[in-house]
Chain A
Amino acid sequence: MTDSLIVVGITLTYLALVLWVGLRARGQQSSSLEGYVAGGRHVGVVILFFILGAEIFSAFAFLGAPGWSYQHGAPAFYILAYLSLVPITIWAMGPRVAELGRAKGYLTQGDMIADHYQSRPLGILAGVIGVLALVPYLTIQIAGAGLLFQAATDGLIPFWLGALLAFVVVAAYVFCSGLNGIGWTNLVQGIMMIVIAWFLGLSISERLYGGVGEMFSQIQLTMPEYLTMPGATGMNWGYFSTAVLVSAFGGAMWPHLFMKFYSADSGKTLRKVSVFYPLYAYLLVPLLFIGFAGILVFADDPLARADTVLLRMVMDVANFSPWVIGLMLSGALAAAMSTGANLAHTAAIVLVRDVAGPTLMKGASEKAVVSATRWSVLGLSLIAYLFALANPASLVLLLLGAYGLIVQLFPMVLGALFMPRLRRTSVMAGALVGSLAYLLMEFAFSSPLGWHAGVWAMLLNVGVVAAWQYLGRASRDGHPVPSH
């Protein structure tokens, strides 16, 4: 009981610190929409690095990543591969997005798409897809925070209260401080995550095996199949490779990542961020160690849920003091909360600007829009919290579906950035066919060759765009997009 009180005490102190930092950022910005959404387009390299990084490393980093290396072994390197390849897209696309955003005042994906293709419905469609994809993502962060609290305090803080505590803090500073609040708190949370992850990864392999090298030697002696592809569960190269490609290059279509491109003070800043981005993937390395350490520990009595491996190792196996458990909980909550803050902020902006803007709130003043966005942060967080209470398990399926759909925006966005000759009808047909094919493969048929369904849907999408462009040119019935 006293142990759990120490854990709770440390964690509440950490939450209070995050709240203080987040609210303090309020005084440093104007109250305009551009200030609230894009930090006045003056976010420098250090803050932007942590904003981008901290939103990629979610509850998944502390729960899912060690779970993968514990359950599959080598296929977990897919996470390292795709994370370190993400900056290629930022490098190639980011500066152009930032430049267009500055010149034309874009704040969302929908802004750019609606303006470039001269089609409001296309912008609203992008907005609806964005919100539908973001809410389950946010729900998973909230559920993750609740599970972490419950497990680390031995049930002293139940699921509903843990989830509520973490997200009241997040909703409060996003509501008050917008993107600047996210930037400063992510700086704190990013440092917290890195220190905790490395400490746990190295000390667990030291305590149980006498070091990282010694740990891998012992796994090699008894279970070498975990250390090379196809791993312990027989994942084939086709799935591995296509999953890396879809996650690395499609991931930039997520509105919460895409919209941060607008907030950079220059294209140069974005390039500088992408240079250092592959280094951030090193954060996950020690968390993979923890999963590998669990392979031999739980060899005779496998865990029912692979993604609890880190919690079980820290609490039951390695015999850490409650102080360490409290810090572990704070670090893992940092990962869930920093991503959650970004998701809530983005979903609210997309909902108000892309979906409500051209319909319900036509002609509303900027003050009204900022205020609607703030209240939407609270409303959407509350909806996600209620979903988390209902049933977090089925949402993983929803998120998978949403991921494949959001990726289908790729040709549309590339067209708006680099290919002025692409027509609205072509990209719309491609996105519709691609999305439909993805849903069919995900839920009805199995994907050919065992590849990631997103790759097939993407190829089909691009094929349809190309065919439509060609046919349109032949019959001359399509109207080219007016040039800028």
Chain B
Amino acid sequence: MTKTYHLLTGLHFALCTLAMIWPGALIANRIEPTVLGLPFLFFWYILWMLALFVGMWVAYVIRHGGSRHD
């Protein structure tokens, strides 16, 4: 499990990073559609901040949750 675990967390980190810089953010570089009143590019950053949090939370629960030790 550890090898897959490290690979997946690494991939998640890389994906979130690339989504917020070139080239990932290129696909979101537009105003329409607006979401929650925000221009799409603004919403894109709000979304990936949340994605990073959710991914890290899952990784945390898998590794440190329950009775498992570090």
A interface residue numbers (CB < 8 A to B): 74, 77, 80-81, 84-85, 87-88, 91, 95, 211-214, 216-217, 220, 224, 227-229, 237-238, 240-241, 244-245, 248, 266-268, 271-272, 274-276, 278-279, 281-282, 285
Contact = CB atoms under 8 A, between A and B. Distances in A.
Q: How large is the interface on B (under 10, 10 to 19, 20 to 34, 35 or more residues)?
A: 20 to 34
Given A85-B17, A228-B31, A211 B37 contact: yes
Given A88-B17, A244-B21, A276-B53, A267 B70 contact: yes
24 contacts: A74-B42, A77-B41, A80-B20, A84-B16, A84-B20, A85-B20, A87-B56, A91-B9, A91-B13, A212-B37, A216-B39, A224-B31, A228-B39, A228-B41, A237-B22, A244-B20, A244-B21, A268-B70, A271-B63, A272-B60, A275-B53, A275-B57, A278-B50, A278-B52
Contacts of B21: 81, 237, 240-241, 244-245
Given A213-B37, A266-B70, A282 B49 contact: yes
A211 B34 CA distance: 14
Contacts of B9: 91
Contacts of B30: 228
A464 to B, nearest CB: 25
> Could you tell me the dominant secondary structure of chain B's interface residues?
helix
Nearest to B18: A241
A229 B25 contact: yes
Contacts of A85: 16-17, 20, 52
A238 B22 CA distance: 7
Contact of B45 (A77, A87, A91, A211): A77
Given A77-B41, A84-B49, A240-B21, A220 B31 contact: yes
Interface string B14-50: 0011001110011001110010111101100110111
Contacts, number: 101
Contacts of A213: 34, 36-38
A85 B42 CA distance: 16
Contacts of B39: 216, 220, 227-228
A363 B5 CA distance: 46
Nearest to B60: A275
Contact of B42 (A227, A240, A241, A267): A227
